Structure formats: C-alpha cells, structure tokens
Amino acid sequence: MDRNTASPQGNAVGTVTAIRGNVVDIRFDHALPPLTHVLRAGKDNEMALEVMAHLDDHHVRAVGLTFTQGLAEGDAVTATGGVLMVPVGDELLGRMFNTFGEPIDNGPTVQAREHWPALRPPTPLARQRAGDEIFTTGIKAIDLMTPLERGGKAGLFGGAGVGKTVVIMELINNMVGVHEGVSLFCGIGERCREGEELYREMRDAGVLKNTVMLFAQMNEPPGTRFRAGHAALSMAEYFRDVKEQDVLLLVDNVFRFIQAGMEVSGLMGRLPSRLGYQPTLGTELAEFEERISSTEHGAITSVQAVYVPADDFTDPAAVHTFGHLSSSIVLSRKKASEGLYPAIDPLASGSSMLVPDVVGREHYDIAREVRATLAAYEELKDIIAMLGMEELSREDQLVVNRARRLERFLTQPFNVTEQFTGHKGRLVKLEDTLDGCRRILGDEFRGRPESALYMIGSIDEAGR
C-alpha cells in the first residue's frame, strides 16, 4: 500500500519529510489532518505527535507529545482522526496518571467506560454561575485577607523557594479531608519527588480514594507538559457535568504551563514577543483558565501556584494570570527571610470576595483595619531604622506594637511541615482568626511578648 494514501482503517497516512528535534514535518497527498489532531508514528505507533500548523496544501508541522528518537525521514505517520483523548469517570479515583491518561502509580490498567477530548470548549456563559460563597481553608492569613471563592480561581504567586508548593500541600491536607466532592491535583513541569511525596502523604491520610492525580514532569517533552492542564480539566469537567459534583482543582504550577507553550512556540519558529514569551501567551492562558468555571450542577474551585521569575510581578506570565483570578495570594521573600511562614504578603494580596455583602460586615471591617495597621507599620519602618522606636509618637508606637503582633499571629504551623519544624500543625476556624485579630487590635496583648503569638493556632494559645 502507498504510504501517502488512506490506510484500511480510513485514517490518512503521511510521510516524514523533515525532523528537527521534537518538530516533525509530514507530507500528506490527500486531505490534511486538522490542527490539534494527534498523529501516530513508530514501529508500534508508540510515538504521538500533535498537528500545530499547516505549511501548505500537502505538509503539516507537528510537535512530539512523546520523544521522537528513532524517527527518520521517509517513515510513515498515521493520522488518528481525533485530538488527544483522556479517560474520565469514577475509575480514575485514587490513581495517578500522565497526560495520556496512562497510570504511572504501578497499579493495574484503568478500564474507563468513557474517554473525553483533552481540548474542549469552555462552558457557555449562559450556563455559568457566579459564586458568592466562601471556601474556608483553615489557614489564617488566607481566610482573613484573601478569602477564596467556592467555584472560583485563586492564584498563589511567588518566586523560587518562598513556599508555594508547601502552601498548596497544606491546602490539600486541610481541604481534601473536609471537601465533599472530588479533588484533582495537576502537576505541570514539577519535580517527580514532589509527586511521589504527595501521593504517599494522601494515601497515608486516607483521602486518596476521592482524589485523581495527573503529572507531566520536568523531563517530559514540552508538548506533553503543554497539554497536561487541559487533560486534567477534562477529567474535572466530567465530575462537574456528569456526576454533578464539586471539584477541587489544584495546579502546580501555571508558569510551567506557560513555559511549555513558550518552548512549543519556539520549536514552531514563531517570533517571540515581550521577554521571549510566545506571541499567543494571552490566548493560550485564556483557553486554559476559561474552562475553570461553575454551573448550576457543580463547581470547579481552583487553586493555582504561579512561579514568578526573579520575583518580578510585572513579568507577562504573572500579569496575564492575575487577570483571570478572583483571589491572588502573594508570597513574599522578605517575609520568608524573617521566618514569618506562610510568607503571605497581606498588602500585595487581594480577593474580590472581601466585600461586606459576601464575607459580612464584621469580617470586612477587621480585615480592613488589619490591612491599615500593617500598611502604617510599613510606612514607619524607615523612621524606625534611622531614629529608633523612641522617636515615634505614642500613637505610632501603639500601631507598631499591634502590627508586629498581627504579623506573628498570622503565622501558622502546617501539618505538612511538622516533621521539619517540630511544631504540630494547626487548622484554625475563621471565627478564631477574627477573634484573635480583634483582640490584638484592641491592645489586649500589648504587654505580651511578640514570641507568644508566633506559630500558634487560635489566640487562646498565647495566654494573657
């Protein structure tokens, strides 16, 4: 049979004309396979390629979703006639997968009843539902200053080594246990060690049975990392739309998704945009983020870690991501260097949920007063550094006293770091957080040493 004619199965067969690393040009003598469609190559069809561009009437350019070693000019490539498909359903619960939906936890093969396309359009606006319900996490600084929206998108921004993954893992620990729906963790371009640790911890905690995990690791081709987020979203959408369940989606990390897109764009020979990013950055991120939404039947609540290159929050990756979120949690290297963990910067963080109509007047007023106190202390730091505390007015000294105690009260020992710190983890109710801040703002703890408020749960642990 001629390689360039249709195969007996009716799928077009083409011929490799050029290979440059992970980019493959293929000639088809008849109809070209559409964009985003998957092609198969290799002796046992073990290689997967995705069509990224039509070069002319007979040639397509594809990027490898698997490594392309061993592929040569003249080799046959078969069009599968569809996009990347992933398994969906209850059979996935308690398992760990790669981008292709293949188990990577050494468990048995998953016999899923259904497979859905990894690339699906977002839910139409007419069917989306706006959220006005708070998703409490048990982490004081988040629940007080940047409350999460049930069915919304929250971003966890920070540079290297400030604790993004630790906060994500603590959120899993706190929320998966009490979350009534399904949890889905998507690791994009992260270390395999983190995935293995997370799997083991969730298994030991007994919450793995309601969790699906999907990983595209650092050593995998950029095409695979670029599609991992979409594959995870298809799995989440099944539980939301078919099973009508709430889904908690945790993504670590969105910058690696953008970075994979940048690598694919470079492989395709597109001219880079600002700071070397792909010219399609905004579109690609929107295609991913707009699929995370709530309907009348279920909600996808998303918490996404976002690496910030060189701590530069004006970086295009961070700027574009900010625009899609209802809550932005910013981790500060300065806070981390002072030992104030979680290193959340309450002045840089924010949430659209922090309004009286949603959180209540009391919560709103306390959060606003905490923010004002911390902002005033920030302005006084230069004077304190030059002249000392004694030169401040009596009122300013009280402000500094409150602010330093608030900073320490908003630290919290985590369950996931207990083995490293020796501090037993705390999950703090929102009422206890509000009560503690109210009492600190009322100068009830003015005479207590600051250290009494450091790494505690509720304010009662500090004594009087």
164 as an active site residue: the answer is: yes
Catalytic residue among 27, 140, 153, 164: 164
**CB-based contact 325:251 (threshold 8 Å):** no
The CA distance from 424 to 445, in Å, is 23
Crossing angle of helices 281-289 and 222-241, in 10° steps, is 30
Catalytic residue among 190, 220, 263, 284: 190
Classified as helix, coil or strand, 78 is strand
The CA distance from 207 to 172, in Å, is 10
> What backbone torsions phi and psi does residue 5 show, to the nearest 5 degrees?
-95, 175
> What backbone torsions phi and psi does residue 14 show, to the nearest 5 degrees?
-120, 180
Residue 460 carries which DSSP code? G
91 as an active site residue: the answer is: no
381 as an active site residue: the answer is: no
How many secondary structure helices (H) and strands (E) does the chain include?
13, 18
> What backbone torsions phi and psi does residue 117 show, to the nearest 5 degrees?
-65, 140
**CB-based contact 335:344 (threshold 8 Å):** yes
Catalytic residue among 129, 191, 270, 333: 191
176's enclosing H/E stretch is helix 164-176
Q: Which residues are catalytic?
A: 164, 190-191
